[in-house]
Amino acid sequence: MSWYRNAVWFVKGLREYTRSGYESASKHFSPADVEVNVAGRSFLVTGANSGIGKATAKEIARRGGTVHLVCRSKERAEVAKGEIVTETGNPNIFLHIVDISDPKEIWKFAEKFKNEHKLNVLINNAGCMVNNRELTEDGLEKNFATNTLGTYVLTTALLPLLEKEADARVITVSSGGMLVQKLNISDLQSERGTFDGTMVYAQNKRQQVVLTEQWAKAHRNIHFSVMHPGWADTPAVRSAMPDFYQRMKNTLRTEAQGADTVVWLAVSPEATKLPSGLFFQDRQPVPTHLPLASTRSPPEDEEKLMEMLEGFSQKFKPTSPG
């Protein structure tokens, strides 16, 4: 059935995920939803030096929020920070250099961050699509390490900080590509079969949806959401999917359009009126499975994923803070 899932997803994408899909959906947006002042609230955005992460950080900064940019490249991050400060006039932009594919580094950062800052909203945006199987220094497959384990470690490490705040939120940037994947907990690091970076990425994005649903059940005081930004013209798409980019470049969304729902989920009072744990596209909750696609997994597999990630997480946790 994989051919069917792929075909349905692509047709759906042509209709909804491109720029014209955003323009159609945005006719029903309420501008007042995001016309808010979030001064005094603290936001952490991973992968914030380019693409949807930077566009998100910029929009939050425009609304007065304190923004923590978590980036891997210091040089590119400094440029992004300068651009955000200059364009928004908001000086409360802070930079943290962290490799989200390195769980030990994430733990170290999170412990330090918890001692020095407050946090109202965590935005898990950092991600990668590596098209050949690569291992990190810790022996982790790089897509899994960044997209799934990195998201899990950072979120769980910061949950105690979020629990302290009113109206705390966690937003994870996923992908509609997850619709073609059924959760597979038997091969988290893609060690078996032919390696297909696009499908590994889609599997990671399915895992992020499951994480969000599981966290929402376990942490009632925090509003969790996961979203699909549509097909946007970002540096990541250009580098990881050059053929797709060349075919679709004239129809792709802008970075700001891709970031719109992230911003809405992060700042709008309307977003938290909806249940925690939902998957969003263009400010609306949407199904996490295509009709007839056979991508649903048993609850025990979803619980097992959490157990396995916790095992990985604890393996890399420092024995003492910092």
Nearest to 5 by CA among 165, 203, 173: 203
Q: Which residues, other chains included, contact 29 with Cβ-Cβ below 8 Å and sequence gap of 6+? A: 283
The pLDDT value given to residue 322: 46
Classified as helix, coil or strand, 114 is helix
Residue 234: the pLDDT is 82
Note the pLDDT of residue 311. 97
Any idea what the Cα angle at residue 92 is, between residues 90 and 95, rounded to 5°? 120
Asked whether the beta carbons of 219 and 169 are under 8 A apart, the reply is no
* Structure tokens, 246: 């060349």
User: What pLDDT score was predicted for residue 4?
Assistant: 61
Q: Which SS3 state, helix, strand or coil, does residue 234 take?
A: coil
**Cα(101)–Cα(49) distance, integer angstroms:** 16
Tokens of 114: 């918890």
- Domains by residue range for the chain, with CATH: 3-315 (3.40.50.720)
Catalytic positions: 201
pLDDT of residue 251: 85
- Tell me how far CA of residue 282 lies from CA of 12, 180, 200, 257, in angstroms: 14, 20, 25, 9
User: pLDDT in tens for each of the 322 residues of the chain?
Assistant: 566 677 665 666 567 899 999 999 999 999 999 999 999 999 999 999 999 999 999 999 999 999 999 999 999 999 999 999 999 999 999 999 999 999 999 999 999 999 999 999 999 999 999 999 999 999 999 999 999 999 999 999 999 999 999 999 999 999 988 999 999 999 999 999 999 999 999 999 999 999 999 999 999 999 999 999 998 878 878 787 788 778 888 889 999 999 999 999 999 999 999 999 999 999 999 999 988 888 999 999 999 999 999 999 999 998 864 4
Q: Which of the 8 DSSP states describes residue 31?
A: G
